[in-house]
Structure 1
Amino acid sequence: MVTFLCDQARISFVRVKYLFLTWLTVLVGSWVLYVQYSAYTELCRGHECKNAICDQYRKGIIDGSACSSLCDKDTLYMSRCLSTLPNNQVYTGSWGDHDGIIRCRLGEVVHYELGEEPEPRREAPVFDKPTRGTSVEKFREMVFNHLKSKLGEQANLASLVSQILSVADGNKDGRVSLPEARSTWALLQMDEVLLGLLLQDRGHTPRLLGYCGDLYMTERVPYGPLYGLSLPWPLVSWVPNGVQRTMDQWFTPSWPRKAKISMGLLELVEDIFHGTYGSFLICDLAAEHFGYTDRHELRLTNARAVVPEDEFRRAMRVLKCETDADCVYGVDCQTSCDVSEKRCREEPVRPNLAKACGTLKDYLLRGAPSGLREELERQLYACMALRGNAGQMNMEHSLILNNLKALLWRQISHTKDS
């Protein structure tokens, strides 16, 4: 009898234990789901974005090449949410035969403390420019002055304005209507759109497929980031940098294909160094801002990382400092501090090429052919040592860039990857 009672007590204890564990699992799981759902609904507001844009379109305030498909025909739609900020909506999307990335700006989400009176959500700017009665010539002048303020005095601004007005004619009827002009003006206020248009002619950025208001769709880059592996954000802080770099290398293409992708980055650097519309600086050369196509052609997927050198110099000119650490723009652009004046100098410390070679060093050296590795390593380190304020920098920059491109091209010119 005693043994029987002990067995019954043990069984009851096991049941209670499993019941408790089941309850705890359900509780924790429900909490995780709630947190994830709350984060998702906070970040992913695509329906709000579409409703706001289509409301403006149906009122005749805005128009564009994608408006009818988005709002009337429902042939352009958003799929997976990629947003990391609630007011900057990013989705994968499709439009007929095109797969792409859809981006849209929304008003900021206001966070409240417990007990505070809720305030209305801050709305995005309205589409109020150009105003009714503005002629095409006046709009052309507005665009020209805007570009001049962004890029500085450039000889080719008039041709760039014509290119933008061609994009603004969404229905291709040979004229730019007021709603189309308002959409175009809204897009031009976003630096990433403007710089994307500048760079897509040379194939460096994804092509603009269509727009409606400040919602726009670009072609999708099938492979990215550069290393092919992007850890979920909760894991990034837990995985040591050394382990992460090793894991990154497992997900890269074969070496000849990496060489072709690297050539694309070097050509991007070459094209924005004293290019058609002035010089630009890449102020965040993280591998996740780059991807590549099926043909292993590099694409810059985050044009916000690029800034006109004129704009950079203006920003540095007014920046006060105590040390060099105070003179930083973005992530990778830095000048030195003039301690006597307590002002940042305008000249960038490292040129784009030096930063690009730093990004490519591990990428290219791993798996490099044995007969090439020593020379490649020597050239990459010489490239990384470039300084923006050094004498004869332009000549040295061109020499190192050409040598590095020639070295890579000799290795892949006879392969199918070329």
Structure 2
Amino acid sequence: MARLSYMRIKYLFFSWLAVFIGSWVIYVRYNSYTELCRGHDCKATICDKYRKGIIDGSACEGLCSKETIYFGKCLSTKPNNQMYLGVWGNLEGVIKCQMENTLHLDFGTELEPRKEIVLFDKPTRGTTVQKFKEMVHNLFKTKLGDQGNLRELVNLILAAADGNKDGHVSLPEAKSAWALLQLNEFLLMVILQDKEHTPKLLGFCGDLYITERVPYTSLYGISLPWIFEIFVPQGLRKRMDQWFTPSWPRKAKIVIGLLEFVEDIFHGPYGNFLMCDTSAKNFGYNDKYDLKVVDMRNVVPEMHLKDVIKDRPCELDSDCVYGTDCSTVCDQRKKKCTADVSQPNLAKICLLVKDYLFRGSPSEIREELEKQIYSCIALKAATKNMEMQHSLILNNLKALLWKKISHTNDS
């Protein structure tokens, strides 16, 4: 009888403990979700500015008046970068909105701080179109360098800013455009608007913007329920990420698209852009296995990065990191970060796709593929004749992959 009583107490204790831990985990998860997913706050802020006539854009009416734009599943990973699946009429897209007051650059966590205090304060009333063009041109000079073709880029921005396509950029439209131009992704979408691997801009309102939806939103990896993520070992998790991928010819086609994107941003007409987060979640693909860049917020102009990171105080090279993948060297004599990045985009991309391409690769090209991939990973930004080596390695790798899949249906 005493033993039965003891067992009952033990059972009740462990039952209570399980309920307590479960309730605590659910509470923490709920709090995390409500902090991360604040689309209603974002919409309220944007629509308040729109109704007051401060901002305007092609998506404002659908978002705030007709309410034909709906927020769907929350995709946010940071509270101040709100991201949702969305529907706009018969279009499916991704809604992105900035939140929170961030008054400093936080290396390694946030590349595009939102300065709420001064948001939508420019251009001021009375600013002419010509003056606004000069403002945009000077911003581009700061971010991209003094290039002869910046005037052409300014005209592209004005065309994008004209949300209602009436041939005139109003002051509220200009305020929206100016706020958007502070974001790397928006600038890059305008620059690469004709490139197939860049998601299309569907519309904007203030600094909220809607992009084309990509069906497959990660280069590789499997999404697990959060409870399983806690218990799956990291080594097993990495292997599982490679198990659930398309067939090898389709993977090769996706990687060719990724290499083409590297070409698009490497010393293009408006300078060189650096990929400061090359994780698989930033690259997806469509139903035809064409690569699409899911998130370009961490693709930054090289000149802008150099201005931000140079002369930053440091003790170790690890103090000279921008985002997660753009690093420079700490000058031990001056205790300052140098300006030049250590690795080009191509080397980081080859490291990203190494296991992805090796798994299931045809035996007849395996040796040559490994040779080219490892040569690619070893590429250094400061190497003599780096641009020539970069071009040679990239073209050889593309040619090897294309030759193997060009005769297949997957190509």
TM-score normalized by the length of structure 1: 0.88
Residue 391 of structure 1: how far off its partner (Å): 1.3
Distance 1:29 1:149 in 2: 52
> Is the partner of 2:96 in helix, strand or coil?
strand
- Residue segments in structure 1 that go unaligned for 5+ positions in a row: 1-5, 110-121
Q: Is the 8 A contact 1:86 1:108 kept in 2?
A: no
Deviations 1:250-305 (A, max 9, x none): 11100011001100111111121111111111122111211111111112222122
What amino acid maps onto 2:396 in structure 1?
Answer: N
Q: Does residue 41 of structure 2 align to residue 48 of structure 1? A: yes
Question: Which residue is 1:136 aligned to?
Answer: 129
Structure 2 unaligned segments of length 5 or more: list them. 103-114
1:338 counterpart (316, 331, 334): 331
Structure 2 CA distance, aligned partners of 1:80 and 1:157?
38
Alignment of 1:4-403 (within 5 A): 24-108=17-101, 125-231=118-224, 238-403=231-396
Per the alignment, do residues 26 and 317 of structure 1 end up closer, same or farther by CA in structure 2, a change over 3 Å counting? Answer: closer
How far the C-alpha of 1:371 sits from its partner, in A, is 0.5
Q: Which residue of 2 aligns with 1:112?
A: none
Q: Deviations over 1:65-113 (max 9, x none)?
A: 011111111110101112222222211111011111111122249xxxx
Report the Cα distance in structure 2 between the residues aligned to 1:275 and 1:249, rounded to whole angstroms: 33
Partners of 1:76 and 1:95 within 8 A in 2: yes
Task: Show CA shifts across 1:49-76 (max 9, x none).
Answer: 1111111111111111011111111110
Change beyond 3 A, Cα 1:141–1:340: same
Distance 1:16 1:338 in 2: 64
Contact 1:266 1:405 survives alignment (8 Å): yes
3-state SS in 1 of match to 2:53:
coil
Counting aligned pairs with the same residue, the percent is 61
Letter in 1 for 2:159: S
Equivalent residue pairs, number:
399
String of CA shifts for 1:91-136, please: whole Å, max 9, x gaps: 1111011111111122249xxxxxxxxxxxx966442211111111
Which amino acid letter does the alignment assign opposite residue 191 of structure 2? L
Contact 1:333 1:348 survives alignment (8 Å): yes
With the length of structure 2 as denominator, give the TM-score of the two structures: 0.90
Preserved contact between residue 250 and residue 289 of structure 2 (Cα < 8 Å): yes
- Structure-2 separation of matches of 1:124 and 1:238: 43
Determine if contact 2:242/2:356 at 8 Å carries over to the other structure: yes
Instruction: Please say which structure displays the higher CA radius of gyration.
Output: 1
In 2, Cα distance between equivalents of 1:336 and 1:123: 33
- In structure 2, how many angstroms separate the alpha carbons of the residues matched to 1:342 and 1:290? 36
Q: What's the CA shift string for 1:26-53, capped at 9, x where partnerless?
A: 5444433333322222222211111111
